[in-house]
């Protein structure tokens, strides 16, 4: 594991363990009292390379893609965004402490689909280690200047009562293979909502200062996750080239929306079932946008099959200069997992979770994700469009690309680690909004 990854993992661990520091950057409010603290065993997290468990990684990528597609398909409003990686990791953590029908459901295609893995623990450790190379402090990100080296911070919390008796074996497993533990919480205490909000704020640069998680004195366990990305484009758009352009919403209506224009290096793939473009961030992360054939519904490409086919087609496509037109947008979503995942045993009174104790089930589970796309990349704030004349993007040939690509209708997107195929975020834009 590289020194950079170790350093970022150490920072992420410090954030998770204390969550006491102020959020100074970006004008975020300061936290002056301790909030939720991670309780983990002394077992050392195993550093497993993704090349050591390639077949299992491929199976986990397929599971994450399926989970993400199922959570965004059929959405309403302007669009939704989820972190399939965060949800998959939470399900895998629970599977490590489950038994009976609950374990079987989590192992199956409606859960984390771990039954075919040769070694689930090692595979998850490899996946977590891969993603943690981008972890860090969201409070360090400038609202107007996304970092050249991507920052992807995932907060994931398995919450238990302060007096809960979690087995030592389960805590060792969580620490060794999932680089985590449990968060003891006073579910009936007067500060619980504030503590949950503070935990979310630290992990999201105050995108959230409150959460919709519902807990009370009867709660035996709950889940909370957040996902936050800040990353600069490898080939940014010029602010001066942004102008209004027509966009066809998912309902078929058309409106003019702020649209970025530029000749940038990108990958493009077109088939009878979709059109797709990949815009790169730093390292191996890329934003993959998938459009349905003109006149077809958005849900035609909001499937794991379409997203996988687009990812493979883009991987095979050459990098070339393209005249890209892309709307700005911002999406912030909380997903209610009990109402969205087909793992009913997990949330039922007869759940079998012996690692957490007898008679424990997950009372509530929420996963939050956010993505803001603009000229410089993924950041927190969008600048106002300029009236200055357009100038060519630095480092890219001026003039129209060989194959223009206009994102001019509702689309599905995925932020992908191209080294593994793992979707960190999956979302839909039914109509672009920026606030």
Contact between 4 and 134 (Cβ < 8 Å): no
394 pLDDT tier (thresholds 50, 70, 90):
very low
CATH 3.30.497.10 domain extents, the chain:
3-231+331-372
- Tokens 């390639």, located at residue: 54
pLDDT tens string 178-193: 999 999 999 999 999 9
CB neighbourhood size of 16 (10 A): 23
Buried b (16+ CB within 10 A) or exposed e, 238-252: bbebbeebebebbee
> Is residue 386 very low, low, confident or very high in pLDDT (cuts 50, 70, 90)?
very low
CB 220 within 8 A of CB 160: yes
> 213 near 90, Cβ under 8 Å?
no
Give the SS3 label for residue 106.
Answer: helix
CA distance 152 to 231: 8
The closest of 135, 153, 92 to 1, measured between CA atoms, is 135
State the average pLDDT for the chain.
89
- Please provide residue 103's backbone torsions phi and psi, each rounded to the nearest 5 degrees: -60, -40
For the domain bounded by 3-231+331-372, which CATH number is listed? Answer: 3.30.497.10
The pLDDT of residue 4: 44
157 pairs with which residues across the strands? 224
In which residue ranges of the chain is CATH 2.30.39.10 found? 239-328+382-429
Burial category of 34 from C-beta neighbours within 10 Å (exposed 0-12, middle 13-18, buried 19 and up): exposed
pLDDT tens-place string over residues 241-265: 999 999 999 999 999 999 999 999 9
Q: Could you tell me if 255 and 247 are in contact, meaning their C-beta atoms sit under 8 angstroms apart?
A: yes
CATH of 239-328+382-429, one of 3.30.2130.10, 2.30.39.10, 3.90.1490.10, 3.30.160.270: 2.30.39.10
Residue 402: band (very low, low, confident or very high) from pLDDT cuts 50, 70, 90: low
């Amino acid at each position: 594991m590289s020194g950079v990854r170790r350093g970022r993992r150490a920072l992420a661990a410090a954030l998770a363990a204390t969550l006491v520091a102020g959020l100074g950057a970006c004008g975020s409010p300061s936290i002056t009292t301790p909030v939720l603290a991670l309780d983990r065993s002394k077992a050392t997290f195993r550093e497993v390379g993704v090349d050591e468990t390639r077949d299992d990684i491929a199976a986990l990528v397929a599971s994450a893609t399926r989970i993400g597609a199922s959570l965004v398909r059929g959405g309403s409003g302007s669009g939704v965004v989820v972190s399939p990686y965060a949800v998959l990791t939470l399900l895998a953590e629970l599977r490590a402490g489950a038994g009976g029908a609950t374990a079987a459901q989590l192992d199956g295609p409606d859960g984390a689909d771990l039954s075919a893995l040769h070694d689930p623990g090692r595979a998850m450790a490899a996946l977590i280690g891969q993603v943690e190379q981008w972890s860090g402090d969201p409070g360090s990100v400038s609202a107007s200047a996304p970092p050249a080296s991507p920052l992807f911070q995932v907060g994931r919390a398995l919450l238990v009562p302060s007096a809960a008796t979690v087995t030592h074996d389960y805590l060792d497993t969580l620490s060794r293979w999932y680089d985590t533990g449990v968060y003891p919480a006073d579910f009936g205490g007067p500060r619980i909502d504030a503590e949950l909000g503070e935990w979310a704020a630290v992990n999201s640069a105050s995108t959230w200062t409150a959460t919709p998680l519902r807990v009370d004195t009867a709660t035996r366990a709950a889940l909370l996750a957040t996902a936050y990305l800040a990353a600069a484009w490898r080939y940014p758009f010029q602010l001066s080239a942004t102008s209004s352009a027509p966009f066809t919403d998912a309902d078929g209506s058309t409106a003019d929306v702020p649209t970025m224009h530029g000749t940038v290096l990108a990958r493009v793939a077109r088939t009878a079932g979709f059109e797709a473009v990949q815009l790169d961030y730093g390292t191996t992360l890329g934003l993959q946008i998938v459009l349905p054939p003109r006149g077809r519904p958005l849900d035609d490409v909001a499937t794991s099959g379409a997203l996988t086919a687009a990812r493979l087609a883009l991987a095979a496509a050459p990098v070339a200069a393209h005249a890209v037109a892309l709307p700005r947008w911002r999406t912030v979503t909380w997903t209610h997992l009990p109402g969205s995942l087909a793992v009913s045993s997990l949330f039922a009174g007869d759940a079998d979770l012996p690692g957490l104790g007898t008679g424990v089930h997950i009372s509530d589970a929420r996963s939050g994700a956010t993505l803001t796309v603009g000229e410089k990349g993924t950041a927190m704030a969008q600048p106002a469009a300029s009236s200055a004349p357009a100038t060519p993007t630095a480092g890219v040939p001026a003039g129209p690309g060989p194959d223009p690509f206009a994102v001019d209708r509702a689309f599905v997107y995925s932020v992908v680690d191209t080294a593994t195929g793992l979707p960190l975020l999956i979302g839909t834009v039914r109509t672009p909004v920026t606030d």
